[in-house]
Structure 1
Amino acid sequence: MPRQSISFSKPNDEWLKAQIDSEEYSSKSELVNDLIRQARKQQVHIDWLRVKLENSERSGFTNDSKEEILKQSKSLLDG
């Protein structure tokens, strides 16, 4: 696995240490990797919404009901 050296602001470093101290994570590396995985997953959702919005803007209207749109959004978030 590639190694990186990064610097954290004091508040961020203290937050990372608190997560380790609470035994939620075993190391800063594990925590940072998990945060990156979460951000990547969130980006997939953002990209999906962006495409939906762009398609909606081009079409003018959708035939999907509010309930259908909400169901699709929740389904994507549940992954």
Structure 2
Amino acid sequence: MGASAGASCPICRKSAGPRPENPVFPFCSPQCKLVDLGRWLDGGYRVPGPPVSSTNDDEALESRGWTDGLGGNLQEEDE
């Protein structure tokens, strides 16, 4: 028996096993998948640990030779 046998949707708890007729696994429906996405985007889910400021992130990246560039994409600096 696989780890996902008898799996349930993390949003509504309905049965949501991995099978060809359920392309949105681990969710039971596209609606539950969108609810989950909305919770991530609204900050409803959080990763445990102390908050990290963006200033600390920028400093850490710069100390490793990475820059933000003009387009907001991280790029490795040329030497």
What TM bracket, shorter-length normalisation? under 0.3
The structure where helix makes up a greater share of residues is 1
Which TM-score applies when normalising by structure 1? 0.24
The structure where strand makes up a greater share of residues is 2
Which TM-score applies when normalising by structure 2? 0.24
